[in-house]
Amino acid sequence: MIVALRGTQSASDADRSLSVIADRRKSMKPPFSADDRPSAVSEAKLTSTPLDQALCVLLNDEIARTLSIETFVEMLSTGTAGLASLANAKAVAEGRLLEKAIAVIAASNPALKILTQIRLPIRDAALELIEQNDPALYSHIAMEANERTRRTYTVDIILVDLEKQIAYLVDVKRSLASFEAARIVELRQRMLAAALVTADILWREHKRLSVREVRVVILEASGRRTDYDHGVWAFDALDHLVGVTGAAAMIDRLRSAFATRVEANLEQALDRVVATRIASRSASERSDYLDPRDRRQRSGNDGEEGCGGTITDPQAQSCTPAIGIAPRPPVH
């Protein structure tokens, strides 16, 4: 999805920008041309490189901060509410890790300027323009961002190709499986509305960064709702997007390591919780089977003073509470 900003595109540029998949059933990989790749494509080895080490640091930090064994133990000890929090915490942590990892990988390409978590205003006029018009009618329009508005869009990552003067607004999603089609359309429209003011924001607030084109990309890790015609990309296209060969493979390895670490921490947390429950139950059972004389000594009475203390005499039937169904409430 493209919003061209400054100057007029040639026919060949327009054709190349609007190229689509010839046969999506044969391959899920997009048919990107070499000319459309980011500048200064770099080769990233998948061994113990500084880039791998940086990703490892991100993984360790995220696990320690939100998904440690101690955190899992606390969640598992709070019942169903804790279980719900556990599932949500894992999803949020993985999404945050993916955003940071993509930014780190992209930063290894010297031709790119990386900005993260930038809040962009959504002007009412911009959103109306996107919602009510064909893309061809607003693809050469840019707006100033100085108008006050209550609506904003915080973009996960902005990739600026300094040589080609192209900015990518990237929204990273773990999965779009739970998104209804209308919700995806709404997200794309908000991104396009934000794209109309992006050039102005980059120029005024980010050291005169100049772009002639802004493209929006929704990156979906699961690859279940890929739609390159409408800007929804699978992670397979990450190499192309950031201009780093092997980027997608590194993200796959990172996700696998994340899942393994989380599973290991969860298993250890479960072992701790189960061990604690067993120890607690054993202590309780030992208390239940104490000799009656020991009970009398602990309770401070001989068990023959009525119901004032702990009942220890099994023959003391007069103190046994009544049990039954609650009576019908009175009718008013």
User: pLDDT confidence of 47, banded at 50, 70, 90?
Assistant: low
Which residues 6+ apart lie within 8 Å of 86 measured at CB?
72, 75, 76, 266
- Is residue 24 scored above 80 in pLDDT? no
Backbone angles phi, psi at 153, to 5 degrees: -135, 120
User: pLDDT confidence of 80, banded at 50, 70, 90?
Assistant: confident
Exposure of 129 by Cβ count < 10 A (0-12 exposed, 13-18 middle, 19+ buried)?
A: middle
Q: pLDDT value at position 280?
A: 75
What average pLDDT does this structure show over 278-306?
Answer: 57
What average pLDDT does this structure show over 266-291?
Answer: 76
What average pLDDT does this structure show over 50-66?
Answer: 93
DSSP 164: T
Q: pLDDT value at position 224?
A: 87
**Least confident among 4-8, 19-23, 321-325:** 19-23
Q: pLDDT value at position 1?
A: 53
Q: pLDDT value at position 167?
A: 93
- Is residue 325 scored above 50 in pLDDT? no
Mean pLDDT for the chain? 78
Which residues 6+ apart lie within 8 Å of 244 measured at CB?
41, 42, 44, 105, 106, 108, 109
Backbone angles phi, psi at 130, to 5 degrees: -70, -45
pLDDT digits (tens, 9 = 90+) for 213-266: 999 999 999 888 899 989 999 999 999 999 999 999 999 999 999 999 999 999
Distance (Å, rounded) from C-alpha 278 to C-alpha 324? 32
pLDDT digits (tens, 9 = 90+) for 133-178: 888 888 888 888 887 888 999 999 999 999 999 999 999 999 998 8
DSSP 190-239: HHHHHHHHHHHHHHHHTTT---SEEEEEEEESS-SS-BGGGTEEEGGGHH
Distance (Å, rounded) from C-alpha 151 to C-alpha 120? 9
Which residues 6+ apart lie within 8 Å of 121 measured at CB?
145, 147, 149, 151, 152, 194, 197
Q: What is the CA radius of gyration of the chain?
A: 30
Pick from 56, 220, 212, 195: nearest CA to 130: 195
